[in-house]
Structure 1
Amino acid sequence: MKKITINDLKQKSIRYIKGVGESRESLFKKLEIHNLFDVLTYYPREYEDRSSIKNIADLQNGVPCSFEGTIVSNVSITRPKRGMTVSRVSIEDSTGKITAIWFNQPYVKNSLKLGDNYIFFGKAERKLNKLQIVNPVFEKASSKDMKKSLKILPVYSSTKDLGQNIIRSVVYEAIKIINDIELEDMIPLSVRDKFKLPDRTYSIKQIHFPASVRDIESARFRLVFEELFMLQLGLLSYKSLATDTRVGIKYTHIDQMEDFIKSFPFELTNAQKKVFVEVEKDMESSRVMNRLVQGDVGSGKTMIAVLALFKAVKCGYQGALMVPTEILAEQHFKSIKSLFDCFGVSVELLSSSLTKKQKQLIVEELKEGKTDVVIGTHALIEDYVEFKQLGLVITDEQHRFGVRQRTILTEKGQNPDVLVMTATPIPRTLALILYGDLDISIIDELPPGRKPIKTYSVNEAMRERINNFVREKVNEGRQVYIVCPLVEESEEIEAKSAVVTAEDISKSVFRDLNVGIIHGKMKSSEKEAIMKSFVSGEISILVSTTIIEVGVNVPNATVMIIENAERFGLAQLHQLRGRVGRGDEQSFCILFNQSNSKVAKERMKIMTHSNDGFVISEKDLEIRGPGEFFGTRQHGLPELKIANLYKDMEILKQAQESAMEIIQADPGLMKHNELKKHLAAYFGDKVTLS
């Protein structure tokens, strides 16, 4: 039997699949489905179990199920209002009777014949002690090929004009292509045998069109294991290449460190002291430091970076701090420069908004070693940026940078130490696995005197009261953030946009106050001007997109209002809330929740009850499905398509254990050429593995 690899599947366009033309191709692209591999790994989010038939008398309220019955009335059609039709028919079996109702499907009248038997599937509900079922799917009980019933059918995440039947048929055609070939297995035989994993082709077929619930479980275990095994193998391979085979810089003890710490306008917390001891120990060892420092919003991670940079510079090396936004880069530059100035450490800011001449001067001074520390955005990884002796690389907000970007920056020095910081708290056990290429430090304490932010979830009925509260705070001299999920209005998503909200409130309810707006589509110079006005207090109310999620520090801002809060991830809501509460005054976070769904209400409850980022991240993992970490995809790593990091923790541990055994026995995968090849195909160009 012919074998086929991941790369072979990726090279076959979705147009290769029967039933996919130009228009369907563009619809599938909206779901990030471009090729045969994408289709086969577009896993169902749930299933409809139509495989067992129940008696009408046994149907349970709100539970999807199949039943067989005889049509005992003609289909009646009513038109309660213009543009709407309601079709009704009575169905019975030997145990009871039920009414089926279809909205805007008048064609069912010609599909159902009085006296004939049909199999129906849908959710039954009891109204006024009578059973009814709305919009059930059905087919004749005598049909030889039961396409719609007596099966377990996959349910996929879809998009407008791409319904379940289309997705199912395209996936079915894709599976027909691999029927007569064997998908090369990425997992070594020894690992497959140890965990009794079924083969890959079987698992792909059964995850989409399972014969039984047991087949779903077996296929899912195999595919989840594979996904997590490859992720761990990639991270551990990168770690072994990044640390085991290279000798790092061995920094020495710095006498000036104590004086430097004493010069701070505050005292370090015990947690900060503990974490810096771990960082210093790494720096003074001969191995390359690869450490993640995670801490809640406002826990003081930046000071760990400052201490590490000071040590690197005083030992004769240069340091680089890469951050995701220009606003954050500028804030770091100002605060760090003020701390370093008295100790003879030169600091420069490098960002894309600088003129060509300004950039050229900074780059020249870096290359000549005249600049000790450079703070910047992605501009730092451009080819033209060179260092005389780069000894320390720090990236802030790790989820915004990938392993690949971090690597590009580290390659500008001779095995520099690497420090990664994130304010997205992750449960420690998960962090150890997720950041397999990093050692972990946690700042688990906030500076003294920080008041917990009072958080409230409200609906539109509270709008006027909240507006009055905003006015009251502004009159007291405080400032307010209003965050919206979109930049401009979208027809498909009903969510308040930053542009429309800013226009509304500046012309109506707050027309006498100074309202500003900032979003990602603005020019850097415009964003910079707005932020300066807000920091200086000229702007009282700043309407923004999530651009202010990371690092903006305005102690006078005490109110954070988040529109359509249900559209944000929990960790993102926590990050946004962390923009207030930075001064001595009591701060408030108001979450406008426009959804009545159980999940949305549960998430708002978590936010109003907890200010602890670690608790929130646990809940976020519990609630969120596979594919995303904390509301943002993990840049630089393959997306998880089926694994759920919360529910699949046990499989994650097994996968990591297996990956570790292989890497420890064969660090460069020299004896596992096939596995190395699969790994490169799995990660694409996101991680260099050789």
Structure 2
Amino acid sequence: MVVTKSLAKTASQSALNQSVQFLKGVGPKRSEIFTKLGIDTIRDVLFYFPRDYKDRTRIQRISEAKIGAEITIQGRVLGIQTRMARSRKSILEIFVGDGTGAIAATWFNQPFLANKFHVGDMVFLHGKVGAYKYLQLLGPEYEVIRENEIDVKEGSVVPVYSLTEHMSQTHFRKIMKMAVHQFAGHIEEILPKEITKKNQLVSINDAVRNIHFPGTFENLEHARCRLIYEELFILELAMALRRRGIKEETGISFKIGANVDTHIRNLIPFALTNAQERVINEITEDMRSSKPMNRLLQGDVGSGKTVVAIYAILAAIANGYQVAFMTPTEILAKQHFQTIQKYLEHSHVRIQLLTGDTNSRQKKDNLDQIKTGQIDLIIGTHALIEETVQFRQLGLVVIDEQHKFGVVQRLKLKKKGLRPDVLIMTATPIPRTLSLTLFGDLDISMLDEMPPGRSPVRTIWVTQDKEKNAYGFIKGEIAKGRQVFIVYPLVEESESFDLKSAVTEARRLQADVFPTLRVGLLHGQMKQAEKDKVMMDFKEKRYDILVSTVIIEVGIDIPNATVMVIVHAERFGLSQLHQLRGRIGRGNEQSYCLLFGNPNSNVSAERLKIMTRTHDGFKIAEMDFRLRGPGEFFGTRQHGLPELKISDLMKDFSILKKARDDAFELVSEDPQLTMVTHLKIRQKVLETFKDRLELINV
């Protein structure tokens, strides 16, 4: 009996792994079109989910049409005519009847649609009922159903797929219907019975059938819940396994007593906020533990993350360990180096800067000192992960603006020590939904309080007709001795984009707008020495205005700069706008962020409105995530996340929380997923993540 079941299972899996070309109606040539859609096997077909559905459950008779109401009808094309209006616009009308009456579907200036319809075709139309000399639907949604294609019954919910050219919806549905009918029953159930029962989930076979051809919206909802849950459950299982793996490792147990604490606090010349104290306690507890710290420190721009990091750095050094502090850019590395140097000037800590532009002789000396342990704290860019960089005893890794790095780079740095503690910092607030997924295996600390004395930056949306007024305001601020950033999205003009560029605009602003002021230029294509000189000149007030690209998004600290102008602000993401705004408001004077923007979509306009309404980075991150989705927001590929086929992390957050709780509970009961009832789900996690399981937490 067991052998028979095993053979049946193998046959089922073998059937699903067949090439899509063996499906009736596909064949070798059409299979190339399927490959473009990412479909190679029959299993891929079944898990290629619709992007939308057409509601055919409420088809009405034409005789029921009421002027001003929306209506969905099914009927046959009785006639087609194209004519010209007095305004010289073309008018296409198709007349449709269903036995109870007739109605015209009317389109203006779309004569090419005439080729879509033939007399006798069965069509579905959805639109608002109007009247001219007769009843009509103006510019309705339409679908033509050919007799030789799939039979879509009245009263059904019809799937709509993302397709490429040379493949019609109706033909694709026909192939899908066949695949679902023949093969949906072969899909193996991988969720443990207690999980499906607890969450009242339908079977995987029913879920796949009803996600494609649900019949009713209730069936569709049950199918979606099941498939979303399974997708998120696999994701959270990977997180739980990874977290368990880290917690089972033995790391460094740092000794941080009253003596160490006092020495560190003596180097910090101001009182810490309550939020900083709380986070330092969390970090200290981690570092004292024998398990490696794996903590994400989130804090808005200016919330004091660097001071918290300095506490952890000094605690590690006091225990005789080295610290590596990695940043994404040379500008930020140098800024951190200068800031931390000031804090440490009355200490014996040996600190070194290591970047790509360090000259070869000096670099060799630095590397020797790092290897022999003569340097305690090494601050640098990607240069830190080069093979030539070897530590004597690396105890703590600090990574700033971690989302700017790829997962492999972060893992390389960690591997330069024997299970060092890791503190990851970001000034890009991450919505809780993403924290649970991208960083589900990290402990998270939040600095949700600003140091005293910082007044919020006033943010103003400046439309095109108000730009001259804004320039006048800028002159007034500079007359008070202040400085100004003006940021452009491009370095140089491009034929592909109708956008202003930093290089061209710097010349125009100097010549035409601010001829008596000193205008500097900074962009990523300049050599490092040039960039450093421009930044130093701006810091030392040799320029009144710095025209720049987003290169200043991270780590520029000019307390005298009180105005940030962002040109084409509608082209930037919310989080990026918030980061740029964070470059000002660092002194005691009131600061202003001027958003020059003329959005051509509701989403772009909404972004600018949000910026003028709130300064809370976490609220902004939630809004950004809502508007742009996880892939855009955070480059999920970079984070080792598999692509989500059906889940939406924001909309499906309630399911995500259930899946997370269940996944972490399962792993606490069966840490290796070796119980017989968990083997299938273990295999699914390994298949989904392949070589990414180690990377996903980094």
Q: Under TM normalisation by the shorter chain, which class is it?
A: 0.7 to 0.9
Q: How does 1:523-562 map to 2 (within 5 A)?
A: 523-562=527-566
1:54 is matched with 60
Q: Which residue of 2 aligns with 1:582?
A: 586
1:577 Cα deviation (Å)? Answer: 1.6
Please state if 1:573 is matched with 2:608.
no
- Superposed CA deviations along residues 343-369 of structure 1, whole A, max 9, x for unmatched, are 011111222233344333322211110
Q: Specify whether residues 557 and 404 from structure 1 end up closer, same or farther in structure 2 by C-alpha distance, changes over 3 A only.
A: same
Among all aligned residue pairs of Structure 1 and Structure 2, give the percentage whose two residues are the same amino acid.
Answer: 40
Task: Give 1:684's aligned residue.
Answer: 690
Q: Does 1:108 align with 2:114?
A: yes
Aligned partners of 1:18 and 1:173 also within 8 Å: no
In the alignment, the residues of structure 1 paired with residue 526 and residue 68 of structure 2 have an alpha-carbon distance, to the nearest angstrom, of 52
**In the alignment, does 2:292 pair up with 1:292?**
no
Other-structure match for 1:612: 616
2:253 paired residue number: 249
| Distance in 1 separating the partners of 2:412 and 2:530 | 30
Instruction: Give the alignment of 1:368-447 within 5 angstroms.
Output: 368-401=372-405, 404-426=408-430, 431=435, 434-447=438-451
Instruction: Tell me which residue corresponds to 1:134.
Output: 139
Determine whether 1:76 maps to 2:76. Answer: no
Match of 2:362 in 1: 358
Offset at residue 306 of structure 1 (A): 0.6
Deviation at residue 203 of structure 1 after TM alignment: 4.3
> Quick one: structure 1 residues 660 and 514, their matched pair in 2 at CA, closer, same or farther if it must change by over 3 Å?
same
Judge conservation of contact 1:396–1:420 (CA < 8 Å) in 2.
Answer: yes
Shift of 1:651: 0.7
Aligned counterparts of 1:477 and 1:236: Cα–Cα separation in 2? 54
Q: Greater CA deviation, 473-482 or 179-188? A: 179-188
Instruction: Judge which range, 542-551 or 308-317, deviates more.
Output: 542-551
Kindly provide the CA deviation profile for residues 640-662 of structure 1, in whole angstroms up to 9, marking residues without a partner as x.
44322332222111111111122
1:663 matched to 2:670? The reply is no
Q: Residues 568 and 631 of structure 1 are in contact (CA less than 8 Å); yes or no, is this contact kept in structure 2?
A: no
Higher helix share: 2
Give the Cα–Cα distance (whole angstroms) in 2 for the partners of residues 399 and 653 of structure 1: 24
Q: Does 1:649 align with 2:660?
A: no
1:242 & 1:283 partners in 2: Cα distance? 14
Q: SS of the residue aligned with 1:451? A: coil
Conserved? CA contact 2:104–2:137, under 8 Å: yes
3-state SS in 1 of match to 2:81: coil
Structure 2 counterpart of 1:657, one-letter code? D
For residues 74 and 363 of structure 1, the distance between their equivalents in structure 2, rounded to whole angstroms, comes to 81
* CA–CA separation in structure 1 for the residues paired with 2:178 and 2:217: 22
Map 1:34-45 to 2 at 5 A. 44-45=50-51
Which has the higher mean CA deviation after the structures are superposed, 640-649 or 501-510? 501-510
Kept in 1, the 8 Å contact 2:482–2:561? The answer is yes
How far residue 414 of structure 1 moved from its aligned partner, in angstroms, is 1.9
* CA 266–252 in structure 1, closer or farther in 2 if over 3 Å, else same: closer
What is the CA–CA distance in structure 1 between the aligned matches of 2:70 and 2:452, rounded to whole Å? 52
Gaps of 5+ in 2: 1-7
- Deviation for aligned residue 1:312: 0.7
The whole-number CA distance in structure 2 between the counterparts of 1:369 and 1:62 is: 79
Structure 1: 5+ residue runs without aligned partners?
Answer: none
Task: Please tell me whether the aligned partners of residues 87 and 102 of structure 1 are also in contact (alpha carbons under 8 angstroms).
Answer: yes
1:215 CA drift (Å): 3.8
Letter in 1 for 2:271: E
Match of 2:139, as an amino acid?
V
After superposition, give the CA deviation of every residue in 1:146-186 in whole Å (9 maximum; x if it has no partner). 5799765555679xxx5696699779868977854845555
- Please state if 1:302 is matched with 2:306: yes
Find the partner of 1:19 among 15, 19, 30. Answer: 30
1:112-191 correspondence to structure 2 within 5 Å: 112-113=118-119, 118-124=122-128, 132-134=137-139, 136-139=141-144, 145=150, 152=157, 180=183, 182-183=186-187, 187-191=191-195
What TM-score results when the alignment is normalised by the length of structure 2?
0.83
2:403 corresponds to which letter in structure 1? H
- The partner residue of 1:635 within 630, 635, 639 is 639
CA contact 1:404–1:686 (8 Å) conserved in 2: no
Contact 1:626–1:643 under 8 Å retained in 2: no
Does the 8 Å contact 2:574/2:611 carry over to 1? yes
Cα drift, residue 501 of structure 1:
4.8
AA of the residue aligned to 1:680? L
CA RMSD of aligned residues (A): 4.2
Deviations, residues 260-302 of structure 1 (Å, cap 9, x unaligned): 4334343322221221122112212222222222122110011
8 Å Cα contact 1:88/1:99 also seen in 2: yes
Deviation readout 1:447-468 (Å, 9 max, x if unpaired): 1111111112343232332233
Match of 1:277 in 2: 281
TM-score when normalising by structure 1: 0.83
**Partner in structure 1 of residue 218 of structure 2:** 214
Per-residue deviation, 1:393: 1.1
Q: Alignment partner for residue 342 of structure 2, among 317, 325, 338?
A: 338
In structure 2, C-alpha distance between the alignment counterparts of 1:209 and 1:359, rounded to whole Å: 65
Q: How far 1:87 moved relative to its partner? A: 2.7
- Counterpart residue type for residue 650 of structure 2: Y
Distance 2:46 2:458 in 1: 46
Q: Does 1:261 align with 2:265?
A: yes
Amino acid of the residue matched to residue 416 of structure 2?
Answer: K
SS in 2 for 1:54: coil
Distance 1:360 1:8 in 2: 54
Counterparts of 2:511 and 2:637, CA distance in 1? 37
Higher mean C-alpha displacement, 355-364 vs 576-585: 355-364
Aligned equivalent of 1:483: 487
Cα 1:169–1:522 shift into 2, 3 Å: farther
The alpha-carbon distance between structure 1 residues 142 and 226, as it changes in their structure 2 partners (threshold 3 A), is closer
* Structure 2 letter corresponding to 1:345: V
2:564 and 2:584 in contact (8 A); partners too:
yes
